[in-house]
Amino acid sequence: MTTGLQRPAGDPIVVDDPGRLTFRVDRRAYTDDDLAAQEMTRIFDRCWLYVGHESEVPGPGCYVARDVGGRPVVMARGSDGVIRVFANSCTHRGALICSQPAGQARSFRCPYHDWTFSNQGELVGVPIPDGYGPGFRKADFGLARHRSDSYRGFVFVTFDPQQPRTLTEYLAGATEYLDLIDDQSEAGMEVIRGAQLHGARANWKLMMENSVDIYHFRALHKRYVGYMESLGSVPPRRRGGFGRALGLGHAANELPPAAARPLAHWTPMFGAEFRPRIEATAARFAERFGAERAERITRTNRALLIFPNLMIIDAIAITIRKIDPAGAGRMAITSVALAPKDEDPDIRELRKSHYLTFLGPAGFATPDDIEIVESCQRGCLNRTVRYSDLSRGMNKEVPETTDELPAREFWRQWDRLMQGDGGRFEVPHRAAGTPAGIPAGTPGAEAR
């Protein structure tokens, strides 16, 4: 039996016992303020964190400002075309140099004392400069630049100057799924303008668990299941698909073709008028990638967890969901939709409609999910039951999507980092007897 981060009384937070097919998490991990503070320094100050998508800053001078890992940052494409991530903090007295969530500018001006910075981060203007001594140099006061990189258009930042992994190394097996997303358009993918910003009175890790939990779909989202059936579509089955551990806390669930996908999988809920174009798109993908990969790109539904706080749900539409802690009992959620740049306008409207209908903050699913994680948070405050159980599927060589493999992969990395161990990535072994239909190289078995 392996035990994880210790409570003050000496009891483990995570109990991972493969021999007994048991995986438990002490519920204080969701409610303890001291643990929440430790997460910021041991996880969010160390990992690669998602900032945004390159399409959000399409031209020189374009920028977005948002909080990442509890720090205000600006992602800007400079006049030289290079994307950089800066601290959203004036080097003079600390005020935000960018208060708008997005825009286009040649420079950023601090409203406090009019210090001005170029969109490449240099300090270019200081009022009454003779008030400083001869040793003052503007070159010493440029915006603090964070280490950033991108993979297939997804931009990440790390605040750890000693972070030993490149972004690609850190993403490990998650790169396969980012490839499947970006390959959905030869013209490239783009974030659809507009974001849904909301929160929940619950711990952020409960929403990470929920986002890769397919077990709850038919129980919690009965209204949406009925809605799909009323339109002639088939909701996800209770059984089928598989979960994958992708290393370093990343994980995915992959479901067989079932639900609607406006890219290239037509179902009656889209309307008969769209069927010829959607099927023509499917034929183009088969010609480009071959039948097997084309089906996986265009018809398979998947939920990708990138540790610690990014979810990409590629199903009814493509949703990028960033889940940020705001203390032990609160979280902030930012959701945007991703789509092919070359998508027909009416197909785009169809995609947006289905995105909002299911995954929007007022859709069929998201209010259910918010209510249930808040219910879990309240329930965890009763200390009589100490542990939550995430053992489902530990008895299987290849866990299904209704099992809890992705949540266990998340918690194992959480536990390693909270103990100070960065965790060495090894591709989990795919055991013999993997069901047909799982792509070659799929790591089905859990690392023991």
Distances in Å between the alpha carbon of 179 and those of 115, 270, 340, 385? Answer: 42, 26, 14, 42
Q: Domains plus CATH for the chain?
A: 48-158 (2.102.10.10), 176-418 (3.90.380.10)
Cα distance between residue 74 and residue 98, in whole Å: 7
Rg (CA), the chain: 23
Residue-wise pLDDT tens for the chain (448 aa)? Answer: 555 555 444 578 999 999 999 999 999 999 999 999 999 999 999 999 999 999 999 999 999 999 999 999 999 999 999 999 999 999 999 999 999 999 999 999 999 999 999 999 999 999 999 999 999 999 999 999 999 999 999 999 999 999 999 999 999 999 999 999 999 998 999 999 989 899 999 999 999 999 999 877 777 667 766 666 666 665 655 567 889 999 999 999 988 765 555 566 776 767 788 788 888 888 888 999 998 898 888 878 899 999 999 999 998 789 999 999 999 999 999 999 999 999 888 888 888 887 887 777 777 788 888 999 999 999 999 999 999 999 999 999 989 888 999 999 999 999 999 998 654 434 343 333 333 334 444 444 565 4
Q: In 3-state terms, what secondary structure has residue 203?
A: coil
Model's pTM, two decimal places?
A: 0.89
